[in-house]
Structure 1
């Protein structure tokens, strides 16, 4: 039986930013325009009710992908389909308002994403007001109370202000706000990176419970592989704006194929390998304004050859994984 159509499909998604200096300065100094390819041809599917995690070092384009999927950025190339509909075309029309109810985002920093002048009730009720979902004051209060309880908070918390809560509690408020429109797809941009480890676990468990109860679909962005292992069904590894490996979670953690994925996993402390030294992540990420020719990872890869330095690899199927690596293709790795 064929797989059902995915709820989320990104196809050759790309975003380029013009980071050039002022026109007059460039003319006087005879400098060309500088273009930053933050995302460069990313494609993936997410089945309804599942979680795709995107991982990679800072600056690899994960957060830009998140903003493309919720319409905060318009793609330079490629597209994003939601439930079979061209989402970026829909975002520009009156019908896009309904689509935005179905796609919501949880931001990275709970200290910056909540208005300090508003009460929790105002914050959680804002999407309900904005989309005209609930206008009766009493019904609105009941709905806000239910949302707060669903994320493990008290109904009485609606009267308080963000500064009266810890980081983990603020992130729960952010989750309650995101759930207000009853979305089907949540884009989570490193939602636990600003939290203590013990609080991270609480927030992640809430998110998994909500996913199970409401059938939510997640794109989960993180640089913490331990978190990714806990929440994801599939994992995409990004490097300099491109996917280098995309695989089911167990395949990626048990038998990583791309040298970059192996390097990231080797750097994680292992509970049962206490006598073995960790392998630190080696080398520096190249300047994204002047990426290397060929495979972007070749300056840091011990398996790189002449082909790697001149020809950019594309994602290909190897077993159950998609990998962009000449070494894997040629059987050298």
Structure 2
């Protein structure tokens, strides 16, 4: 990718959390400080108008990246370079029940970004913009006078999307935006997001644990494991020719309606603690292809190996 095409770049991005016991406990029990590496040297770029999806199991660091990108967390190392207007970056949160103020009417919720970013906007223009946004996300202007409790989960997420659109964004960070919704409602919200992307030229960073959702939304997919990106590929390539053993294991979990009774291998083992990750490749305790080098040396995404798309010694040696 030409760097001028990228709207956002993450370079050696890190985020560490101090999870040590209280000072007195450490003194009495003679315990050292403990650090959790939630994000551990992550690199990626997102092209304008495209969707990069980050997938992985719970606790792998996906949502931490979302908060780093939006500035809710400061990086512990590395950098995020946003090639655009920071005021035109917005976020859609996971829980539509917790992300809307229950004491505010919908009209006020949607208008709040405009009041903040464009305080000169008149009350008449604010009302007209709120009505327009409600129509855009498939709701009625009359809904502006209601409170969030009057809406279903899918409708609340549409309100959240309208709020995100109020500031005329060019880049949206979507942190598991449909995971709290029923499957039928998920499809409606995802289709709406795809349509909005086409209509307004939006760029998405889409966080999800659900590969079926990602398959519908993404142009490129980054697979995370224990704070690191182990594989990043265009969507079609990743689903057709996954390079990392962990990616293959994730793909095995997707139901296939054409072969519902196929012999699927369950994902073995548990994710190690990010406080004390394994030496070498952090996936090696669960990897069917692990060998001695994996246990002592940490793989990196090497430009000479599959164009830098995978961090895996087995893939590097073209082991199957």
Q: TM-score range by the shorter chain?
A: over 0.9
Q: Unpaired segments of 5 or more residues in structure 2?
A: none
Deviations 1:25-78 (A, max 9, x none): 111111000100000011101110000000000000000000000000000000
Question: CA separation in 2, counterparts of 1:211 and 1:2?
Answer: 22
Question: CA separation in 1, counterparts of 2:52 and 2:276?
Answer: 29
CA RMSD of aligned residues (A): 1.4
Deviations 1:274-328 (A, max 9, x none): 2313322221001111100000000000111110001000012444561000111
- Of 289, 301, 304, which aligns to 1:315? 301
Distance 1:3 1:130, change over 3 A: closer
Question: CA separation in 2, counterparts of 1:111 and 1:329?
Answer: 45
Deviations 1:143-173 (A, max 9, x none): 0011111111111100000000000000000
Correspondence list, 1:198-277, <5 A: 198-277=184-263
Q: What does residue 51 of structure 1 align with?
A: 51
TM-score normalized with structure 1 length: 0.93
Alignment length (residue pairs) = 319
Q: What does residue 25 of structure 1 align with?
A: 25
Q: What does residue 66 of structure 2 align with?
A: 66
Q: How far 1:268 sits from its partner (Å)?
A: 1.1
Question: CA separation in 2, counterparts of 1:313 and 1:2?
Answer: 25
Q: Is the 8 A contact 1:10 1:79 kept in 2?
A: yes
Correspondence list, 1:156-235, <5 A: 156-235=142-221
Q: Unpaired segments of 5 or more residues in structure 1?
A: 85-97
Q: What does residue 318 of structure 2 align with?
A: 331
Q: Is the 8 A contact 1:54 1:238 kept in 2?
A: yes
Question: CA separation in 1, counterparts of 2:241 and 2:18?
Answer: 38
Q: Is the 8 A contact 1:244 1:258 kept in 2?
A: yes
Question: CA separation in 1, counterparts of 2:229 and 2:108?
Answer: 39
Q: Is the 8 A contact 2:301 2:308 kept in 1?
A: no
TM-score normalized with structure 2 length: 0.97
